Structure 1
């Protein structure tokens, strides 16, 4: 469906303002929220193209703010390599005749991620298994990212299971998301779904995303984290189910 230019600008601005606010409060969630909301108004490839610069800038900021980048890269490079390869291989799923499956996949990923958050699923990965699991987690995350534009599953739960210090976890997530964004842009460009014109539109989305982060950082100290997470996951669940129903009905 084609929407008037003013409506499209308003939806994109409000979406990235909301997504940035979520990231400001929780440290993650910008691509997840943006893809979930925009997926109801445009094709996943269009939404992913808009996401490139806001996601890259906010995640690179998160990545570079920590003190242990080289240490974490040496530890997690097999996962990072898997994410990059998987994302570039699967990016074509969001283009051409495969868009139905991309939307259905996006809805499924959002629903499962929301359910895991609401049910507070927690698990621990022993250090002795990390060298075997990291490449697999990376490839699976990359394939899901390339097909849906959402880079949180299963990399984020996996990193949370490793008992990292808070600062290391935030920086490792930033590294994972930054690489996912670069690989997604590369894959979409190779598939002809991301060009110079998309850079301009994506750049316009940076302003509301950063404004949202500023708002979120100020909300963080005034709201119960548990309450915020519950409403965040409930909204993601509603978005995911809506996308699934729209594709199968």
Structure 2
């Protein structure tokens, strides 16, 4: 870590604190915010390596805090297997070293996610098509995760469309994000691109992440979560759009 400046350490800490706040208020968004900010400053591969430990800790906490782990896993295991396969395959692009491609892809993913979340209507997936649709959604999510380090598309809107109860939805999101984190770490490792010198920082990033989640839960009780969420999505879109068009200049 000798090449990491004090200013970069401070930036990483602030980024994960803010990302934790977003997760504390909205129940999701820590990997998305972390990749959005850090991916604009360092390579997406380096940002994804920093993301591994805090993402795993916060999402595993979200997963096992829920009431229905076994039933959720029985229902969604085909999607989870497809996420693993897609992520391991997609991670070869992130590990290729083409930061222009991966940064632009990350920008498009962030912009698309923010626009969809802002304007799309709630979808509904009938039970009769869930069996074959879940692996497709999982594979698509895995490929996007492997290329960009963002776990949200299309998994989040799909899980929201399954009509799960609130606690089950939160647990299902925790399962998806936890599996995605493990698969991303495995995919990067399989490519021989794991930046082990960043893992100490990744472990330390757990502290501001959890502090941010605690602060976010307090904020959620004091301000409107809807207004906070909209402002966050607008900022996320602007950042993603800048990253997407950066290679053109």
Same fold (TM over 0.5): yes
1:31 counterpart residue number: 31
**Superposed displacement of residue 120, structure 1:** 3.7
Alpha-carbon displacement from aligned partner over 1:89-110 (angstroms, at most 9, x marks no partner): 1112112343221111100010
1:188-199 map, 5 Å: 188-199=188-199
Q: Would the aligned equivalents of 2:159 and 2:169 in 1 still touch at CA under 8 Å?
A: yes
1:50-69 map, 5 Å: 50-69=50-69
1:86-125 map, 5 Å: 86-125=86-125
Q: Would the aligned equivalents of 2:93 and 2:146 in 1 still touch at CA under 8 Å?
A: yes
1:229 counterpart residue number: 229
**Superposed displacement of residue 61, structure 1:** 0.1
**Superposed displacement of residue 199, structure 1:** 2.0
1:45 counterpart residue number: 45
2:208 counterpart residue number: 208
Alpha-carbon displacement from aligned partner over 1:160-214 (angstroms, at most 9, x marks no partner): 0011000000000000000000000011112222244332121011111111001
Q: Would the aligned equivalents of 1:46 and 1:193 in 2 still touch at CA under 8 Å?
A: no
1:96 aligned counterpart, secondary structure: coil
Q: Structure 1: how far apart are the matches of 2:117 and 2:144? A: 18
2:19 aligned counterpart, secondary structure: helix
Question: How many residues are aligned here?
Answer: 247
**Superposed displacement of residue 4, structure 1:** 6.2
Q: Would the aligned equivalents of 1:93 and 1:99 in 2 still touch at CA under 8 Å?
A: no
Q: Structure 1: how far apart are the matches of 2:214 and 2:98? A: 37
1:152 counterpart residue number: 152
- Is residue 162 from structure 1 mapped to residue 162 from structure 2 by the alignment? yes
- Runs of 4 or more above 3 Å deviation: none
Structure 1: 5+ residue runs without aligned partners? none
1:186 counterpart residue number: 186
2:123 aligned counterpart, secondary structure: coil
Alpha-carbon displacement from aligned partner over 1:104-150 (angstroms, at most 9, x marks no partner): 11000100011112214321111111001000000000000000000
**Superposed displacement of residue 245, structure 1:** 1.9
Alpha-carbon displacement from aligned partner over 1:9-40 (angstroms, at most 9, x marks no partner): 01101100000000011110000000000011
Structure 2: 5+ residue runs without aligned partners? none
1:41 aligned counterpart, secondary structure: coil
Q: Would the aligned equivalents of 1:35 and 1:47 in 2 still touch at CA under 8 Å?
A: yes
